[in-house]
Structure 1
């Protein structure tokens, strides 16, 4: 089969596009003919050996996908050959076929677009788990989303608004903030041109925000913590800025605040039944048009390096998708 191949941990440009042995179905697993796969920031970290987990090389990157069930392994129930599905693969998604543990494969409603859905599991799964399970976000609370035009950030804006929160979106350009407003942000902050903390004080009447969704890290995290309201919650989602911030514990103490870690993939593996319910809800909203994931660019598999770099350089507004198409590129 054709695949993106990481032969050793190295810069993204060292990835190969070529032939790789197709996986064989195994007990408890589902073999999927891949139609499309979402591109995520951790994919770029993983091929460089910079992610929390390091798969043995050579391997095929790609942590989420959509496609059709080709075969089901012994013991798998609820899925059949020919079913349209989306899946969290962890690795292996950037290929024509992928083998995924059955609890990480989810039926796709007939009304849902497979290409769009192939790139929403991680962003929307992460954001829904973060807001619903980890922050226990309540209607009427104020949610501050950093990196609000990226994949997980934009999903958090949309889901936060759907869940009844007042959403403040923070990003680095007016174009990104305009996109966030179309997804439900009530107010916006340009942290490249505005005083971040003063703007939050202005928007909240000095009270601060109830929840901070932080996939960025770096220099923004500590000012965001300082801007929490009493009993506020900081959601530690990722470090797209490239720097893992040191959180002064006294800042949490002063507001009786919490710093809460969010790692959706591991959480899904630990409690697949709960997360199956979350994913079913998200796919139901997708099919009904209540959420509309933003697709930034669709690349063919041959342009995987370009697609990953587009995400790693934080140029994407919404989700980047790889299809198994051999050539061309579409927006």
Structure 2
């Protein structure tokens, strides 16, 4: 991991003609040329857009735990080397293909891509773009796709969270954790117990809307939750840590409680004790938000439309923790991998 602190520069490629009139100009990008090695920052030659595609001038790109995993060969998807990481972005439309009808040049958008967004330009399908309202900055907009898309599907689509229910969220000060707090508290009118690994992170989660917090590095999560809500337990748990924290969150559920697994930031994948599911009629389920793009696009797209609608209505407030420059991409990765980050971590491409 320490190797990610340094960067190397790609050789400058020759200019070649793109889809726009005149010679295409190379653009800067972060490139993963070898797994578990530093990302290179260099220039890439553009390619023409296909009829259904759009070229975006990227302003901000999200830095997600998934990006660090894919560059180490530990993610569910394994792009062919070399590749440009980055799965979400905000920016403005530079060029549209001949069949594009949903956006036009100059539109401000958020979008998702298949690991090619950590670059000054990004080409993606028109279906993977959503126009953003004028009152939403491109900086804040870049926080919405992965974190709020995940939070909305986890709470509403999977857990079916109801007003007045109690939601326990682990890794609560991370980007997705804070989004879960935001949506649960301000959209769904639920009560939130934020669980995190330090007093500082617990304090931030409380400032962002959680009613209670638990520092699980200093006490038993299950016992702390029981002191807060009694033996009945919580209705919903959203877990991103895995291992023992997942098991304690599972044991904190009330009758007919639901736990949604979003990831394993702690590095350990726990086995589910099926007897606990039986005794209290508990449901344990997973959420891989990105796969909805392939398996159920209407549900996937609705999560983004909902995030934009909630922002427009003033019901959510995205939180940006830190912004790195493109040349600092390896520092940004290390910041996320060492679990120092709070809120959304972004790369600025401008």
Question: TM-score normalised to the size of structure 1?
Answer: 0.94
C-alpha distance in structure 2 between counterparts of 1:79 and 1:312, whole Å: 36
1:27 aligns with 2:51: yes
Corresponding residue for 2:331?
A: 306
Corresponding residue for 1:328?
A: none
Displacement of 1:219 after TM fit?
1.7
- Structure 2 counterparts to residues 159-178 of structure 1, below 5 A: 159-162=183-186, 163-178=188-203
Corresponding residue for 2:68?
A: 44
Which secondary structure state, in structure 2, belongs to the residue aligned with residue 100 of structure 1? strand
1:6 pairs with one of 29, 32, 44: 32
Structure 1: unaligned runs, 5 residues or longer: 326-331
Corresponding residue for 2:232?
A: 207
1:233 aligns with 2:258: yes
Corresponding residue for 1:124?
A: 148
Is the CA contact (8 Å cut-off) linking 2:132 and 2:308 kept in structure 1? Answer: yes
Structure 2: unaligned runs, 5 residues or longer: 1-26
1:79 pairs with one of 103, 106, 109: 103
The alpha-carbon distance between structure 1 residues 7 and 138, as it changes in their structure 2 partners (threshold 3 A), is same
Deviations 1:123-146 (A, max 9, x none): 110011110100010001110000
Deviations 1:33-64 (A, max 9, x none): 10110100000000111000000111000110
C-alpha distance in structure 2 between counterparts of 1:64 and 1:239, whole Å: 20
1:114 aligns with 2:138: yes
1:146 aligns with 2:165: no
Which secondary structure state, in structure 2, belongs to the residue aligned with residue 247 of structure 1? coil
Is the CA contact (8 Å cut-off) linking 2:292 and 2:299 kept in structure 1? Answer: no
Displacement of 1:178 after TM fit?
1.0
Is the CA contact (8 Å cut-off) linking 1:151 and 1:319 kept in structure 2? Answer: yes
2:279 pairs with one of 235, 251, 254: 254
C-alpha distance in structure 2 between counterparts of 1:24 and 1:43, whole Å: 26
The alpha-carbon distance between structure 1 residues 74 and 271, as it changes in their structure 2 partners (threshold 3 A), is farther
Displacement of 1:21 after TM fit?
2.6
1:269 aligns with 2:294: yes
Q: Larger Cα Rg: Structure 1 or Structure 2?
A: 2
Displacement of 1:27 after TM fit?
2.8
C-alpha distance in structure 1 between counterparts of 2:330 and 2:144, whole Å: 20
- Count of equivalent residues: 323
Is the CA contact (8 Å cut-off) linking 1:103 and 1:272 kept in structure 2? Answer: no
C-alpha distance in structure 1 between counterparts of 2:100 and 2:298, whole Å: 15
1:89 aligns with 2:130: no
Displacement of 1:68 after TM fit?
0.7
Which secondary structure state, in structure 1, belongs to the residue aligned with residue 254 of structure 2? strand
Which secondary structure state, in structure 2, belongs to the residue aligned with residue 155 of structure 1? helix
Corresponding residue for 2:220?
A: 195
C-alpha distance in structure 2 between counterparts of 1:310 and 1:26, whole Å: 36
Corresponding residue for 1:296?
A: 321
2:306 pairs with one of 269, 281, 300: 281
Is the CA contact (8 Å cut-off) linking 1:23 and 1:97 kept in structure 2? Answer: no
Which secondary structure state, in structure 2, belongs to the residue aligned with residue 31 of structure 1? strand
Displacement of 1:288 after TM fit?
4.1
C-alpha distance in structure 2 between counterparts of 1:269 and 1:140, whole Å: 33
Displacement of 1:218 after TM fit?
2.0
Is the CA contact (8 Å cut-off) linking 2:196 and 2:215 kept in structure 1? Answer: yes
Which secondary structure state, in structure 2, belongs to the residue aligned with residue 200 of structure 1? helix
Displacement of 1:152 after TM fit?
0.6
C-alpha distance in structure 1 between counterparts of 2:81 and 2:45, whole Å: 14
Deviations 1:127-180 (A, max 9, x none): 111101000100011100000000111110111112111100000111111111
Which secondary structure state, in structure 1, belongs to the residue aligned with residue 303 of structure 2? helix
